[in-house]
Structures are given as C-alpha cells and as structure tokens.
A and B are shown apart, each in its own frame.
Chain A
C-alpha cells in the first residue's frame, strides 16, 4: 500500500515538475517588462514625433494610441541602431535602422524574444528552404519567393552596399525572417505595427493571414469549428483588451488560436513558443509524433519519435546544421499534456481525452490507409526510373502533392481543431477520391498494368483498409445501384 502511494506521489511530482522544468511555472501571468523605465524614452527620439505626425500621420497615430506611447517608448527606442550595424542608416541626424528585429524588441521583451527565437516559427524559412526551388524554379518563378513564400515564411533580408534594403527581401514581416542582425523572426508578423496592440494579436486574424489556404487551412478550420462558432458569436465577451488574459479568469466565451497554442490558463504559463504544445507534425506526407529537443542555449528543434530520443548532455544537430548540447527532451505525450491542460479549463478529462483519441485516429487513418502506401508507390516509381527525379514534370506528381499536401493536410488540421467539414468533405473525402480515382489510375497509366499491379498489390491491396476493392459485388445505393428494384429496401 505504502509503495503504491509513494509511486503515485512520485508520479504526481513528475507531472507537476515537468511544467516547472519547461519554464511553464504555475504563475498564470503574462510576463511584464522588468526593465527600469530609465532604459527607454531617448530624448533624441522625442524629436521624431513632430515631423512624423506630418509626414506619416497614420503610423504616428497608431503609435500614439499604443501602450508603447503611454509607457514613453518613442521611435528611437526601437529604431535606434549602432553605427556598425549592417543596416544602420543616417536619418535626420540620427543613426537608425528601418527593421526592428526581434533582437531589438528583446532589449525589453527578453522572455518573449527567447521563446520565439527557439520556436518553430522563427525557423519557418529554414524549414522549407529545400522545397523552394521545386515550387519557385519549376512550378512558378523567383518572383513568387518574394511575393509568396517569404511573405509568411520570412525573407533573408539583404542589405545592399549602398545601405538600402533589397526589394527582393524587403518589405517583409514573415515570421521566419532572417534579419540583418542575424536574429530570426519578426514580431510584427503577429503584432501589427505601429500599435502593437495586445487585443489585435489575441484575435485569430493575427494568425490567419498565414494560417489559411491548403498548406495550413487553420482559418477555415477554426471558422467552421465549434470553437470558431463561439468566438464569432461572443467576440465582444472575449475581453481582448485585458491586461492579463488568463483563460477561465479573464475570459471564457471561446478559445482562440492563442488560447490553446500559447495562452495562459491557471497552471500553464503563456509562451511565445507557439509550436511547443503540438504533439503531431501534420504537414508532412506522413504524420509523425514529435518530441521537442531543448538545447542548453535555449534553442529547440523537433525530432520524430521514430528516432531514438537523445539523452541529456549528448550533442545532436540543430536545424541550422550546427551542433547543440541537449538539455531536455519533451516527448509528444508531454507536449500533449500541456495542450490538454488548456482543454480542462472548459472540458472534462474524459471529454478532452476522447477528443484527442478521435483526432489521433484520423491522423493514423490518413497515415496508414493513404499516406504510407502513396509514398511507398512514389518512391518505387522514382527507383524504377518511371518518374524523373525532377518534381512536377509528371501529372502523377501533382496528384501526389495534392493528396498529402492539400487534401491530406486539410483532413488532419480539420481533425486537430474539430471542423467536421474540413476533416471530411474538404479533407479525407477528397483524399479518398484522389487516391482511388486519380492517383492509382495514373500509377497504372505510368507504370503499365504489370508493374502497377505489382506495386498496388504490395502496397495497397495487402492492407485491410483497402480490402473492399476485392469485393466488387457488395452493393450500396449511394450512386443509384439497385434503387427501384424490389430487392432494395
């Protein structure tokens, strides 16, 4: 008896120690700037205002009504630059930089800077860099990197020798922007300048300018979910302007993106590491559960759980290729625990766990029935030289891309955030249509009956999920078969 109790006590300790150790200390307050106000309010910066009130009244007005202005933070406090800074320019007698990087914001907002710096958001560009040539060089053109990809994923800002910022890389507020000072990210990706309003960043619209469309259909998913329904109907009850914004304390009418992915609840501290609570990677041909590796210098990366988790103290490569010493590993299970803790503010444990199970089931169904067989067939076709290594020079490649990237992603994101429409009609329903109606017929066309049959037998028909194909005489009235016949009831 005593043993059981001790074990249970340890388990509790572990459960509570984990959030502590992740920095998710059970204070539920948003972190305030702890710097003394003598650190800002540069006298030289006061002079900017009179002129900018006239020359760019819009942005000055935004700033004037901001928390920055009421705290006495002026233009130069953020735009101040050192002579040696790569992007320093002389402007009306002051040395400034156009770009205020997260590192600059971090002079005061240190904690938020640290959290975003290691997060998956700040690596949004490096994560897709190897895909860009296929989409830009092959499918479209370089212009699209600047006007498309980089708008969300961030540009690598190029400062030219004459001090100007290259229009190939600026203007840009992509969240994975690589700044002239070497820092990654862009605070204004979510916190629109120059008001930097809390309420604005808490609104789902702060996310949906990137998280919409096939790759990340979260706007559509949220809008058509129960959470989105409640938000739309109760917007004015959301207390978005509140100084602190703790779920269950400051608001409860509906959750937004912020609530679940980074928000504070009693027992869970807000974090600007937005991906931290995600257990799955939902944007790959096959989803994997991922652990979060935390390095000693605060940097982080994800690692699929199919790979052995590194031990504390070992060195593994970071996303930028350099090596880092592992400080801690958060398993997908632990990441899910934090996310679920948010659910519990409004739902019972059984409800939350039941929902998570439904979500996991959809992801696993996608993986096993469509993702894995389709990928195996594609790899075999590349191996057999039936497809050239270049992407998108065969119709089948578009079909496959659409299968996992557009339709498969919609299904998985739909399930993650409870949009029945996206999980089904815009998601898995299209995945199924595509797989049976386009993908497999195109494989047959490309590989010829003999080779295709071999591939399909091996990767598709061998699976129980596809056994219905072997049973063509089993009727269903959905397309009209049997309707009107006396035997049909």
Chain B
C-alpha cells in the first residue's frame, strides 16, 4: 500500500473542507455557466414585456432568420464570452431588471421607444469597448464575401482597422440615429406621430 505523506497541517478536517470546498466550487462554476446560459436565451430575456418590444424587430432581422440557419440569440451578441465576463455582464445587466421594476413603465410601447435611443447608444458603446468581440464569435472579417464582388476587398482593405460596430449598427433593432446626430425633438415628434399623441405629449412622458 502506497502511503502518501501529507504535510502535517492537513488534518482530516482540512482535507474534508478542501474536498467539500472543491466540490462546491465546481458546483458553483457549473451553476454560473448554466445560469449564464439560461439567462442569455431569448425566452428568458423576453420574460419582461419591455424586452418583447425590442425582440419584435429582431425577429424580422437577418440575425434571427439567416439563410444559413445560424440564429443569434440575445446573449450571443449582448453577453461576453467566458464565465466570468458573462457573469459580470449579467450582474451589470441587473440594473435593467431594477429599472424594469422600479423605473418607468417600459412595458408601455411609447415609454419603451422614448427611452430606446439611450439604450441603443450604451449598447453601441458596449460593443465598441470590446472591439465588437461578440460579433466575432461568428463573423471573421477576412471571410466576409457578401453578395457584391467587392465586399471582401472592402473588408480586407478599407475596414481593415475598423471594428464591426463602427459601420454596422441599426441591423437588428428599431433604427436609432448615431448619437452624434441624434435629435431628441425629432425623435419625440416621430413617436407622437406613430402613436397618435398630441404634440408635446412625448416630452411630458419623458419628464415623468
């Protein structure tokens, strides 16, 4: 029988604690992985009605229904790769849940659309900071052939030092102008027209 010589400080209790801790640690990691996985699904995200409003245009988009059948769900784009980064994203994303419960009534399509630009701007910023990392999970710049003969050249040469999000936004959700040219007044007028509201009603709702 081989006798392993344990250092003296490893008593039976310590050994037990290490084993239990290890198992618990593995369990926790598995939990986080599963948690991140589950909370990245479209089904989970659209539990909140307000997210259903965001998902509607998504379901019309190529990311939902590509010819190849490779469907990107919410988390594929909006949650980072890796269990720690993913968990962190979910932790930060928790503020949306807080706002959903304690903030304005985002379930109201008017309210949701009024607040949408800020959400879009911060989402774009999120992509930019990460150098469009989640896009690159599926897309490889050098492999973008497109439908036009020169698309591949454009991506190899002109977009060489650019991050996906710099050119490709307004692909999936309702169109929002770039922050640099966004005009709150015009946006509010558009919502009033779309939802048949009186002029100025949107501004009032936004103040509330």
Contacts and interface: CB of A to CB of B under 8 A. Distances in A.
Nearest to B174: A162
Contact of A55 (B154, B174, B190, B191): B154
A113 B124 CA distance: 40
30 contacts: A50-B158, A51-B159, A53-B150, A54-B148, A54-B153, A54-B154, A88-B181, A89-B177, A89-B181, A90-B177, A90-B180, A90-B181, A92-B166, A92-B167, A95-B180, A95-B181, A160-B186, A160-B190, A161-B186, A161-B188, A161-B189, A161-B190, A161-B191, A162-B174, A162-B175, A162-B176, A162-B177, A162-B190, A163-B175, A163-B177
A86 B186 CA distance: 9
Given A88-B181, A90-B181, A95-B180, 6 more contacts: A83-B180, A86-B186, A90-B180, A92-B166, A92-B167, A161-B188
Contacts of B182: 163
> Contact residue range for chain A?
20 to 34
B178 interface: yes
Interface string A65-91: 000000000000000000100101110
A17 interface: no
Contacts, number: 57
A177 to B, nearest CB: 20
A57 B150 contact: yes
Nearest to B189: A161
B157 interface: yes
A161 B187 contact: yes
Contacts of B193: 161
Interface of A: 50-51, 53-55, 57, 83, 86, 88-90, 92-93, 95, 159-164
B175 A164 contact: yes
B163 to A, nearest CB: 11
Contacts of B178: 89-90, 163
A159 B175 CA distance: 13
B183 to A, nearest CB: 8
Interface of B: 148, 150-151, 153-154, 157-159, 166-167, 174-178, 180-183, 186-191, 193
B150 A55 contact: yes
Nearest to A47: B158
Contacts of B187: 161-162
A95 B181 CA distance: 8
A165 to B, nearest CB: 12
Contacts of A90: 177-178, 180-181
B181 A83 contact: yes
Q: Which are the 5 A-B pairs with shortest beta-carbon distances?
A: A161-B190, A54-B150, A90-B178, A163-B177, A51-B158
Nearest to B166: A93
Contacts of A50: 157-158
B43 to A, nearest CB: 28
Contacts of B191: 161
A323 B168 CA distance: 48
Find the residue from A86, A95, A159, A161 having the highest chain B CB count within 10 A: A161
B142 to A, nearest CB: 16
Contacts of B190: 160-162
Nearest to B187: A161
Contacts of B180: 83, 90, 95
Find the residue from A86, A95, A162 having the highest chain B CB count within 10 A: A162
B154 to A, nearest CB: 5
B155 to A, nearest CB: 10
B153 A159 contact: no
Nearest to A162: B175
A76 to B, nearest CB: 15
Contacts of B148: 54-55
Find the residue from A86, A159, A160, A163 having the highest chain B CB count within 10 A: A163
Contacts of B157: 50
A172 to B, nearest CB: 20
A89 B158 CA distance: 20
B73 to A, nearest CB: 25
Contacts of A95: 180-181
A50 to B, nearest CB: 5
A51 B157 CA distance: 8
Contacts of B174: 162
A163 B188 CA distance: 12
Nearest to A159: B186
Contacts of B159: 51
